[in-house]
């Protein structure tokens, strides 16, 4: 595909973008490393420059506080003139790299509570504890925030931004004042929809007043409210957007979500949420307002983006995490190098989960990405060729091994990979078997195809041993042998009805109406989803008091969504005692219980494969050896495995 629509220019007022791809604002927490925790850093500049060089049409710089008293640490601020030079440096660097910039103007409402030193501004009183209630924002303070948006816009213009974005979504103060599900005031700023529109429209007019006539103003807006009684409907949003257009907004960035309910899952939607879930609402809003519109939300392939534009459902497309995973996404897509793209899979491990952790753990400085270990380390951890080409043996063809061979080849080395099974991809492919997880197997398939395209030497159905190292005498060895399933000591565990989790997800035929999955971790849950999608009733037995503990907050929410929609029941504090014909016997405390089971799936966990012989052979020959992923620690996260592989390559190239 040529993606002619995606890579065609578009004009917004007097600003011309070279293509229709927009990187929307994403919190990085990198500003925490600045002098006061709220400024631009060299790493943030390098991060944006990399995406501009990678061909992005418009870089949106993350949420930037407009109001000093409510500006939290770890988030950018433009609430004072002292921040202008940092933003100017960023703009100059991005412009030199051929990019365009947008600044997202933000007042965070409840979201600033991560910093206990700043003010929380809310439409209504909110009890935080028995001792303290956050008082509703006063009318005087509302006017001061409007003035703060105006002053911030003037600073952003002075700093050299090409356009600005007003954030009116995600529970932040403008959205909270607009939504009847969040604003229950009885004064002139609440009650009727006309009253609730007053604050965000006043902010828009204030911003527009300080912008040059030819500079476009974008607005991030929720297409509707989820899980909020009395919240915004699509009809409400269309009416408000028409008013916003009259007040000076040019482009609508259609989003969704709030942080006071499970709808927070739609803000940084994980793999379990359907792709492009905002597209249809965005298309209707575009049609009924006549405004330039761009949807966000799980648009991670150029083919899908092109189709949205070709179908006339949007004018631009937000592809944000796609460019966290691969800063060269746009250039690769435009050039037709689709196999080389590292696709975002919506795992949320590095972006959202790291961001949340960074708010309370000083050791976590900024976000990262499973697919891109150099995220926000573009200079310090850039892949570079070594002083000479090295022959490197990779033992194990899971996703970490694949990433290692591709990075080695990219930097001028000669990698050789040995995989004992008949295909590459490992557990990444298996994860994609579960309903809604296709992005995992898709990313693995593309990476495997790229291995072939690059002409890398691959040996399948070949179990490497220490003698191979002695025979080959490579310059380095990466041991990514993975893990093996733990076999529990349960009576009847070798009966015909029992199947190991990896065998099930590899496509082994199963028959029956009922199943028991022993183990409530991620793999057990994926097995349960896979079986339930075939109409099989599933009971998950977990001996601990919690399940899915390895998942972050948002994927736990989507897991609960799935549990409510599929014939799956979770039994915590339940220990399997025996597998018998047609049933599983278990203990819940002192009580013996049984569950019907035509199929029993063992998913109790894994342990690292034996690697001592490989390491001994390397030590004997003086060959550097790197044990990565599950072979180092099992069970592990895919993010850690890929990061292990990346850093092994960095060391090999030194």
Which residue, 183, 146, 364, 165, is CA-closest to 260? 183
Residue with tokens 């979770």: 570
Tokens representing 314? 């949007």
**Beta carbons within 10 angstroms of residue 483's beta carbon:** 22
Q: What are the backbone dihedrals phi and psi of residue 64, each rounded to the nearest 5 degrees, phi first? A: -130, 120
Which residue, 638, 627, 630, is CA-closest to 606? 630
Say how far apart CA 475 and CA 35 lie, in whole Å.
43
Which residue, 406, 353, 354, is CA-closest to 383? 406
Q: Find all residues with CB under 8 Å of 434, minimum gap 6, and list them.
A: 505, 526, 527, 529, 530
Beta strands in 555-632 (DSSP E): 568-571, 575-580, 583-588, 591-596, 599-602, 606-608, 625-627
Secondary element (H or E) of residue 134:
strand 133-134
267 and 171 Cβ atoms separated by less than 8 Å: no
Secondary element (H or E) of residue 147:
helix 139-159
The DSSP code for 77 is E
Which residue, 213, 64, 225, is CA-closest to 152? 64
Tokens representing 452? 């072939």
Which residue, 301, 254, 310, 258, is CA-closest to 277? 254
Strands 476-479 and 599-602, bridge-based pairing = unpaired
DSSP string covering 418-479 = E-SSSSSBHHHHHHTTSTT-HHHHHHHHHHHHHHHHTT-EEE-S----HHHHHHH--SEEEE
220 and 172 Cβ atoms separated by less than 8 Å: no
Say how far apart CA 242 and CA 140 lie, in whole Å.
27
Tokens representing 329? 């996404």
Cis peptide before 501 (omega within 30 of 0): no
Instruction: Tell me which of 172, 352, 354, 418 is the catalytic residue.
Output: 172
**Beta carbons within 10 angstroms of residue 117's beta carbon:** 9
Residues 59, 352, 3, 289: what is their CA dihedral angle, to the nearest 10 degrees?
-70
Q: Find all residues with CB under 8 Å of 400, minimum gap 6, and list them.
A: 480, 628, 629, 638, 641, 642, 644, 645
The three-class DSSP label of residue 226 is coil
Tokens representing 591? 């009580």
Q: Find all residues with CB under 8 Å of 261, minimum gap 6, and list them.
A: 226, 227, 228
- Residue 172 among the catalytic residues: yes
Which residue, 447, 445, 451, 448, is CA-closest to 432? 445
Catalytic residues: 172
């Amino acid at each position: 595909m040529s993606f002619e629509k995606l890579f065609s220019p578009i004009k917004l007022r007097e600003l011309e973008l070279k293509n229709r791809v927009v990187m929307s604002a994403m919190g990085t927490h990198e500003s925490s490393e600045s002098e006061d925790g709220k400024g631009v850093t060299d790493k943030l500049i390098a991060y944006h420059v990399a995406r501009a060089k990678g061909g992005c049409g418009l870089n949106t710089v993350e949420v930037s506080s407009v109001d000093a008293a409510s500006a939290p640490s770890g988030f950018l601020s433009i609430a004072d003139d002292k921040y202008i030079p940092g933003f100017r440096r960023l703009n100059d660097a991005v412009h030199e790299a051929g990019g365009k910039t947008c600044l997202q103007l933000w007042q965070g409402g409840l979201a600033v509570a991560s910093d206990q030193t700043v003010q929380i501004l809310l439409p209504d009183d909110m009890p935080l504890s028995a001792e303290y209630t956050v008082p509703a924002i006063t009318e005087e303070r509302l006017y001061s925030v409007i003035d703060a948006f105006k002053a911030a816009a003037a600073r952003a213009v002075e700093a050299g931004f090409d356009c600005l974005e007003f954030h009116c979504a995600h529970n932040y103060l403008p959205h909270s004042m607009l939504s009847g599900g969040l604003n229950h005031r009885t004064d002139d700023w609440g009650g009727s929809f006309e009253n609730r529109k007053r604050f965000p429209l006043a902010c828009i007019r204030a911003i527009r007043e300080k912008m040059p006539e030819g500079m476009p103003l974008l607005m991030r807006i929720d297409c509707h409210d989820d899980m909020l009684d009395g919240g915004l409907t699509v009809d409400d949003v269309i009416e408000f957007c028409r008013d916003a257009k009259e007040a000076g907004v040019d482009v609508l960035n259609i989003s969704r979500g709030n942080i006071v309910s499970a709808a927070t899952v739609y803000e940084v939607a994980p793999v379990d949420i359907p792709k492009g879930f905002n597209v249809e609402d965005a298309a209707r809003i575009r049609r009924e307002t006549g405004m330039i519109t761009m949807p966000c939300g799980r648009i991670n392939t150029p083919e899908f983006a092109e189709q949205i534009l070709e179908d006339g459902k949007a004018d631009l497309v937000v592809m944000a995490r796609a460019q966290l995973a691969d800063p060269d996404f746009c250039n690769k897509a435009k050039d037709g190098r689709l196999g080389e793209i590292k696709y975002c899979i919506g795992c949320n491990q590095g972006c959202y989960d790291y961001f949340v952790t960074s708010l309370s753990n000083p050791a976590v400085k900024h976000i990262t990405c499973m697919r891109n270990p150099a995220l926000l380390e573009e200079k310090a951890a850039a892949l570079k060729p070594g002083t000479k080409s090295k022959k490197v043996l990779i033992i194990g063809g899971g996703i970490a091994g694949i990433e290692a061979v591709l990075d080695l080849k990219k930097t001028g080395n000669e990698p050789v990979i040995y995989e004992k099974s008949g295909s590459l991809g490992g557990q990444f492919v298996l994860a994609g078997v579960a309903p809604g997880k296709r992005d995992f197997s898709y990313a693995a398939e593309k990476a495997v195809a790229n291995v072939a395209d690059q002409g890398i030497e691959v040996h399948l159905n070949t179990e490497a041993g220490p003698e191979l190292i002695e025979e080959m005498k490579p310059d380095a060895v990466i041991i990514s042998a993975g893990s093996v399933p733990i076999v529990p000591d349960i009576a009847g565990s070798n009966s015909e009805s029992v199947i190991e989790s990896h065998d099930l997800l590899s496509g082994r035929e199963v028959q029956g109406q009922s199943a028991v999955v022993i183990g409530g971790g991620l793999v057990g849950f994926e097995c349960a989803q896979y079986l339930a999608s075939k109409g099989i009733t599933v009971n998950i037995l977990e001996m601990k008091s919690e399940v899915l503990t390895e998942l972050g907050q948002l994927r736990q929410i989507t897991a609960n969504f799935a549990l409510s929609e599929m014939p799956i029941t979770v039994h915590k504090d339940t220990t399997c005692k025996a597998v018998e014909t047609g049933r599983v016997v278990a203990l819940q405390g002192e009580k013996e219980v049984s569950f019907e089971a035509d199929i029993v799936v063992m998913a109790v966990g894994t342990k690292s494969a034996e690697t001592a012989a490989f390491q001994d052979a390397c030590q004997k020959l003086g060959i550097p050896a790197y044990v990565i992923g599950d072979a180092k620690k099992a069970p592990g996260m895919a993010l850690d495995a890929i990061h292990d592989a990346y850093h092994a390559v960095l060391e090999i190239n030194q």
